[in-house]
């Protein structure tokens, strides 16, 4: 099986809103596991930055669907490459809303302090997404530890 990674940026269509983003995430989580697709999505009120990994045919088919989706526009391919292993193997679709980003992470990979994936090349976008996934993993681990402590105290 040939594994590939695809990273793209797009803009949220003028008629689309938060409910559409939620629908996209729900569909990804429902459909991606059976197709062997993993990845991460960062979004705000204007932009999407998504990294998807998996079998070449499944990724190509998904990207074709993304290009035809009217909830986003101006899709720009930042990277498409063969990979020997996944980075997001434990995520059917990790996601981060841009207002959760630290200015430090944005500055590390971008030309400014404001999230704009069109200011990133493929390597910058990948580094950015890897950092986001690590932050999300740390956050979830902290939440799980707190929940366990609460349960133990009860």
Any idea what the CATH number is for the domain that residue 114 is in?
Answer: 3.30.70.100
Mean pLDDT estimate for the chain: 86
pLDDT band at 147 (very low <50, low <70, confident <90, very high): low
Instruction: Give the DSSP H/E element, type plus range, for residue 67.
Output: helix 56-68
> Of residues 101 and 78, which shows the higher confidence score?
78
pLDDT above 80: residue 53:
yes
State pLDDT tens for residues 54-72. Answer: 999 999 999 999 999 999 9
> Which residue has better confidence, 151 or 71?
71
Our CA dihedral for 58, 128, 118, 88, rounded to 10 degrees, sits at: 10
Structure tokens given for 99: 């207002």
**pLDDT of 103-119, one tens digit each?**
788 888 888 888 899 99
**C-beta pairs of 70-74 under 8 Å, 24+ apart in sequence:** 70/13, 70/15, 70/16, 71/12, 71/13, 71/16, 71/20, 71/24, 72/10, 72/11, 72/12, 72/13, 72/16, 72/48, 73/10, 73/11, 73/13, 74/9, 74/10, 74/11
Beta bridge mates, 94: 40
pLDDT, mean of residues 12-33: 89
pLDDT at 91: 75
**Length of the chain in terms of residues written:** 154
Enclosing domain of residue 47: 3-153
What is the band of 1 on the pLDDT scale with cuts at 50, 70, 90?
low
Average pLDDT over residues 130-148: 64
More confident call, 88 vs 4: 4
Q: CA-CA distances (angstroms) from residue 11 to 68, 112, 139, 148?
A: 13, 18, 27, 39
Domain count, the chain: 1
pLDDT, mean of residues 70-85: 95
42: tokens are 């960062």
User: Cα separation of 17 and 11, whole Å?
Assistant: 11
pTM for this model (two decimals): 0.84
| Mean per-residue pLDDT, 3-29 | 91
Contact 51, 5 (CB under 8 A): yes
Q: In the numeric block, which tokens belong to residue 15? A: 């008629």
What is the model's pLDDT at position 143?
45
Return d(Cα 80, Cα 113) in angstroms, integer.
26
């Amino acid at each position: 099986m040939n594994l590939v990674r695809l990273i793209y940026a797009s803009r949220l269509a003028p008629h689309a809103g938060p409910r559409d983003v939620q629908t996209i995430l729900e569909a990804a989580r429902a459909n991606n596991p059976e197709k062997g697709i993993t990845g991460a999505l960062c979004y705000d009120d204007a932009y999407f930055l998504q990294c998807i990994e998996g079998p070449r045919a499944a990724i190509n088919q998904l990207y074709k669907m993304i290009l035809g989706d009217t909830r986003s526009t101006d899709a720009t391919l930042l990277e498409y490459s063969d990979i020997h292993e996944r980075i997001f193997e434990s995520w059917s679709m990790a996601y981060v809303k841009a207002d959760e980003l630290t200015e430090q992470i944005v500055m590390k990979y971008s030309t400014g302090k404001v999230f704009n994936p069109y200011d990133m090349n493929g390597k910058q976008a990948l580094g950015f997404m890897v950092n986001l996934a690590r932050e999300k993993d740390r956050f979830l681990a902290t939440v799980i530890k707190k929940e366990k402590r609460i349960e133990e105290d009860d």
